[in-house]
């Protein structure tokens, strides 16, 4: 008795193509498993090619004319000229907006002495906005010309403007120009003075002529007040309290000495003896 064999069925075209592809992939996997360095080379080439495509696409987008810088707007300036801020920012018109180094722009603008803080923002209309916060003057520093001085000893020329109603710092020579560190103690002291309106309206001058002390000049009689070279806040607060509660002292005292911690020595006119508060 003969055994009947099942009839053979022919493979479809799709099935045959799938088997051929699976065989191709299997052979490639075997090759890569035998020589792993080939897999690494293939992966590296793929990464490089993908990176090049992405870089080229991004670079092309950044360089679009619609994303170029067309205008630089500077706001917040009063004493500092806007052209000085633009020059310090170093922003070139026509350069890519998205490639702008904001940190470099901020560092450049902050290098201008009278700038305390700066904020930079980009807008898709091709505009860059530079917002400047200038320093607050606490005194007028007088040399061969007048300068504004802030709490930290930074100065800027008045440039022909009206001298503001601020105490005048005197007593330093203009050659060489005083360093900021030399002016900072005076700026710190006058910043404390500005906190007390009555004391602020009384102090007309601060002299740095004596290398061992700082001298405030009080109106209306020009009464000098001796302070340490670097006065602490407590001495100025004490002086403000004395002026508030003993206003007649300014009319009778010829000299006040606040160099002693917690005490104010008062020298009166020659007909009166000295006193200590």
What single string gives the DSSP state of each residue in the chain? -PPPPPPP-PPPHHHHHHHHHHHHHHHHHHHHHH-HHHHHHHHHHHHHHHHHHHHHHHHHHHT-GGGB--EEEEES-SSS-HHHHHHHHTPPTTSBSTT--HHHHHHHHHTSTTEEEEEEEEETTTEEEEEEEEPPEEEEEESSSEEEEETTS-EEE-TTPPPPS-PEEE---SSSPPPHHHHHHHHHHHHHHTTSHHHHHHEEEEE--STTEEEEEETTTTEEEEEESS--HHHHHHHHHHHHH-TTHHHHEEEEE--STT--EEEE-TTS--EE-
Q: C-alpha angle 220/224/230, rounded to 5°?
A: 130
Distance separating alpha carbons of residues 172 and 157, to the nearest angstrom = 16
pLDDT at 153: 93
Residues 6 or more apart in contact with residue 225 via CB below 8 angstroms: 215, 216, 217, 218, 239, 255, 256, 257, 258
Domain boundaries, the chain: 65-134, 137-276
> Can you give the pLDDT of all 277 residues of the chain as single tens digits?
455 555 554 445 556 566 656 665 566 565 555 555 555 665 555 555 555 545 444 444 445 555 788 899 999 998 899 999 999 999 988 888 888 899 999 999 999 999 999 999 988 788 999 999 999 999 998 888 889 999 999 999 887 778 889 999 998 876 688 899 999 999 999 999 999 999 999 999 999 988 889 999 998 889 999 999 998 899 999 999 988 898 888 888 899 999 888 788 888 865 444 454 5
Q: State the pTM of this model.
A: 0.68
pLDDT at 193: 95
pLDDT at 272: 45
Matching residue, tokens 């700038």: 115
Q: In what order do the strands lie in the sheet with 127-134?
A: 71-75, 127-134, 115-123
Exposure of 112 by Cβ count < 10 A (0-12 exposed, 13-18 middle, 19+ buried)?
buried
Helices 82-89, 102-110: axis angle to 10 degrees equals 130
pLDDT at 15: 60
Class of the CATH-defined domain 65-134? alpha beta
For the domain made up of 137-276, give the CATH fold. Answer: Rossmann fold (3.40.50)
Matching residue, tokens 């160099």: 259
* N-term to C-term CA, the chain: 138
Residues 6 or more apart in contact with residue 125 via CB below 8 angstroms: 70
pLDDT at 57: 47
Matching residue, tokens 């505009």: 127
Residue 140 contacts residue 149 (beta carbons within 8 Å) = yes
């Amino acid at each position: 008795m003969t055994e009947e064999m099942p009839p053979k069925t022919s493979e479809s075209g799709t099935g045959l193509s799938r088997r051929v592809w699976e065989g191709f992939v299997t052979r490639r996997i075997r090759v890569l498993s035998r020589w792993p360095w080939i897999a690494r080379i293939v992966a590296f080439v793929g990464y490089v090619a993908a990176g090049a495509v992405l870089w080229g696409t991004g670079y092309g987008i950044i360089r679009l004319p619609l994303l170029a810088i067309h205008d630089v707007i500077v706001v917040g300036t009063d004493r500092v000229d806007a052209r000085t801020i633009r020059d310090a920012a170093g922003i070139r018109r026509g350069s890519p907006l998205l490639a702008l180094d904001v940190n470099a722009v901020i560092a450049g603008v902050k290098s201008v002495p009278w700038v305390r803080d700066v904020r930079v923002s980009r807008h898709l209309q091709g505009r860059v906005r530079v917002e400047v916060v200038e320093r607050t003057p606490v005194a007028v520093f007088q040399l061969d010309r007048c300068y504004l001085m802030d709490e930290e000893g930074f100065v800027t020329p008045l440039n022909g403007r009206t001298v503001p109603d601020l105490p005048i710092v005197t007593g330093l020579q203009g050659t060489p120009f005083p360093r900021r560190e030399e002016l900072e103690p005076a700026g710190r002291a006058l910043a404390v003075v500005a906190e007390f309106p009555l004391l602020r309206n009384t102090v007309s001058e601060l002299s740095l002529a004596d290398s061992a002390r700082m001298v405030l000049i009080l109106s209306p009689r020009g009464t000098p007040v001796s302070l340490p070279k670097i006065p602490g806040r407590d001495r100025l607060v004490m002086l403000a309290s004395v002026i508030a509660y003993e206003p007649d002292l300014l009319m009778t005292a010829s000299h006040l000495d606040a160099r002693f911690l917690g005490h104010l020595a008062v020298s009166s006119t020659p007909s009166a003896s000295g006193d200590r508060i």
